[in-house]
């Protein structure tokens, strides 16, 4: 982390400057969240949630994909436990993001870290993690804060806009959720290539098959776990095959090194 305690506590003027920089850098996220939050508010209303429930969810959960998913689960009558468990699984990826941020951030106080941890969405992580170390606590708080304000505010706005929309548009809104997931997936395919296609394909396939026996919540969850496990096992087998071919008579340590290289090349 390389920041002394004196630096990290900082004087109020410097901290305010970090906060302002964070708020400014968070603005693109706020703009990007606007349509997503409005759509969330709209669909929440269409799903049968009250305004208070929709806004409370945005205030307490602050996670786009999980909130959308909870709506589609509520819509098909999934149980509360399923929704919570699926939320946990979907958001577990933030564990890695927080871990990665913690290696780049100044130590700060525990309270500061606990505060910006709450706002560690994919987008906040993307903005913060591309900055140079050391990341200032108040900078991350600024980025997360402006994103949070947009998310909660536009959830409420979206909810009330729903009442003014004609029925045919409201019916067509049912596809919004799926269009959103497609819009999130396609750029990942462009960026990461075949891996994303295979994983998403397996997720879709396993969900379709599991949906024959399981309710939507469990089917999505097990499909996800199955997909990442199958992918990992398949990759391990492929790597092992590659090593056998490459490293015929090499010692054990050399093989371990080859394995390591193969591992990192897959990432």
Partner 1 sequence: MSMTMFWMIVAMGAVTYIPRLLPLVMLNTENWPSWARRMLTRVPYAVLGALILPGILTVGDNVWFAVAGGGAAALLAYFGAPLIVVVGAAIGVLGVMQMVF
- What is the spatial distance between Cα 123 and Cα 226, in angstroms, rounded to a whole number? 26
Nearer to partner 1, 93 or 249 (CB): 93
Considering the complex, what minimum distance in angstroms separates the CB of residue 13 from partner 1? 26
Structure tokens at 245: 């071919």
Cis peptide before 134 (omega within 30 of 0): yes
Nearer to partner 1, 3 or 83 (CB): 83
Nearer to partner 1, 13 or 212 (CB): 212
Contacting residue, 97, 141, 143, 146, with partner 1 by CB under 8 A? 97
Please list, in sequence order, all residues whose beta carbon lies within 8 angstroms of the beta carbon of residue 74, skipping any fewer than 6 positions away.
47, 48, 49, 83
CB 26 within 8 A of CB 145: yes
Considering the complex, what minimum distance in angstroms separates the CB of residue 174 from partner 1? 5
Find the binding residues for partner 1 in span 39-68 (CB under 8 A). Answer: 39, 49-50, 52-53, 56-57, 60-63, 65-66, 68
Name beta bridge partners: 105.
135
- What is the spatial distance between Cα 102 and Cα 95, in angstroms, rounded to a whole number? 11
Q: Give, in order, the Cα–Cα distances in Å from 15 to each of 4, 53, 116, 139, 236.
A: 15, 35, 15, 8, 47
Contacting residue, 1, 157, 200, 258, with partner 1 by CB under 8 A? 200
What is the three-class DSSP state of 248? coil
Nearer to partner 1, 13 or 167 (CB): 167
Find the binding residues for partner 1 in span 233-252 (CB under 8 A). Answer: 236
9 binds partner 1 (CB under 8 A): no
- What is the spatial distance between Cα 246 and Cα 141, in angstroms, rounded to a whole number? 49
Per-residue x/- marks for partner 1, 152-181, CB under 8 A?
----------------xx-xxxxxx-xxxx
3 binds partner 1 (CB under 8 A): no
Per-residue x/- marks for partner 1, 98-137, CB under 8 A?
xx-xxx-x----x--xx-xxx-x-x---------------
1 binds partner 1 (CB under 8 A): no
Nearer to partner 1, 124 or 146 (CB): 124
- What is the spatial distance between Cα 41 and Cα 48, in angstroms, rounded to a whole number? 11
């Amino acid at each position: 982390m390389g920041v002394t305690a004196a630096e990290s506590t900082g004087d109020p003027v410097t901290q305010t400057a970090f906060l302002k920089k964070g708020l400014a850098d968070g603005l693109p996220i706020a703009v990007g969240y606007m349509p997503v939050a409005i759509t969330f508010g709209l669909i929440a209303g269409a799903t049968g949630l009250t305004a208070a429930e929709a806004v409370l969810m945005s205030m307490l959960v602050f996670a786009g994909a999980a909130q959308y998913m909870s709506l589609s689960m509520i819509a098909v009558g999934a149980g509360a436990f399923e929704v919570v468990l699926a939320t946990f699984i979907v958001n577990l990826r933030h564990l890695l993001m927080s871990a990665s941020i913690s290696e780049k951030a100044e130590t700060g106080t525990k309270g500061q870290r606990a505060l910006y941890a709450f706002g560690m969405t994919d987008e906040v992580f993307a903005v913060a993690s591309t900055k140079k170390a050391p990341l200032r606590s108040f900078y991350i708080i600024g980025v997360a804060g402006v994103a949070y304000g947009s998310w909660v505010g536009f959830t409420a706005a979206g909810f009330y806009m729903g009442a003014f929309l004609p029925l045919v548009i409201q019916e067509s809104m049912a596809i919004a959720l799926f269009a959103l997931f497609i819009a999130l997936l396609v750029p990942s395919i462009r960026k990461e290539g075949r891996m994303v296609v295979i994983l998403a394909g397996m997720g879709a396939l396993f969900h379709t098959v599991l949906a024959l026996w399981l309710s939507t919540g469990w089917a999505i969850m097990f499909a996800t776990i199955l997909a990442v496990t199958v992918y990992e096992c398949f990759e391990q087998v492929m790597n092992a095959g590659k090593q056998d071919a490459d490293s015929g008579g090499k010692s054990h340590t050399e093989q371990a090194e080859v394995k390591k290289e193969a591992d990192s090349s897959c990432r």
